[in-house]
């Protein structure tokens, strides 16, 4: 996985690069757990912009982080660029939980890159 979690103002940032699948998910899970140690309000940005591939094995640790942050009056936001990652979120029915952010700065500011309709199967696709 990426470098150790870093502090972005009052926000923790965890990054991953390369492939995030069944073989690399345990390291990703460990990174997400390590950054959530302690008590108090927690804001977490997960930067997946360096990924070339992701499968569904990343969803459980991401959802656990989301649940933990929410219970501590914070949030978890995900940065990614590749459409395949959005499709994994769609397949896992967590698109609304994890909207796409273009950068860590946008995630910190709460400015999603696009609306949920991009991955919504009921969106109007007529030309």
Quick: pLDDT tens for 67-111. 999 999 999 999 999 999 999 999 999 999 999 999 998 998 889
pLDDT-derived band at 38 (thresholds 50, 70, 90) equals confident
- SS3 of 91, please? helix
pTM strictly above 0.85: no
pLDDT above 70 (res 9)? no
Q: What pLDDT, on a 0 to 100 scale, did the predictor assign at position 11? A: 86
pLDDT-derived band at 8 (thresholds 50, 70, 90) equals low
Dihedral over alpha carbons 101, 117, 42, 80 (to 10 degrees): -30
Q: Which residues contact 19 (CB under 8 A, 6 or more apart)?
A: 51, 52, 53, 54
From residue 63, alpha-carbon distances to 9, 95, 96 in Å are 23, 11, 12
Q: What pLDDT, on a 0 to 100 scale, did the predictor assign at position 48? A: 97
114 versus 42: which is more confidently predicted?
A: 42
pLDDT-derived band at 126 (thresholds 50, 70, 90) equals very low
Task: Please report, for the chain, the start and end positions of each structural domain, with discontinuous segments joined by +.
Answer: 6-109
Fold topology of 6-109 = Transcription Regulator spoIIAA (3.30.750)
């Amino acid at each position: 996985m990426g470098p150790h979690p870093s502090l972005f103002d009052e926000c923790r940032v965890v990054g991953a690069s390369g492939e995030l699948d069944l073989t690399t998910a345990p390291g990703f899970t460990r990174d997400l757990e390590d950054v959530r140690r302690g008590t108090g309000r927690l804001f977490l940005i997960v930067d997946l912009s360096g990924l070339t591939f992701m499968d569904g094995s990343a969803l459980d640790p991401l959802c656990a982080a989301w649940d933990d942050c929410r219970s501590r009056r914070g949030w978890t936001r995900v940065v990614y660029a590749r459409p395949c990652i959005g499709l994994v979120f769609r397949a896992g029915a967590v698109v609304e939980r994890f909207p796409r952010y273009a950068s860590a700065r946008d995630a910190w500011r709460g400015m999603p890159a696009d609306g949920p309709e991009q991955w919504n199967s009921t969106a109007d696709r007529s030309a």
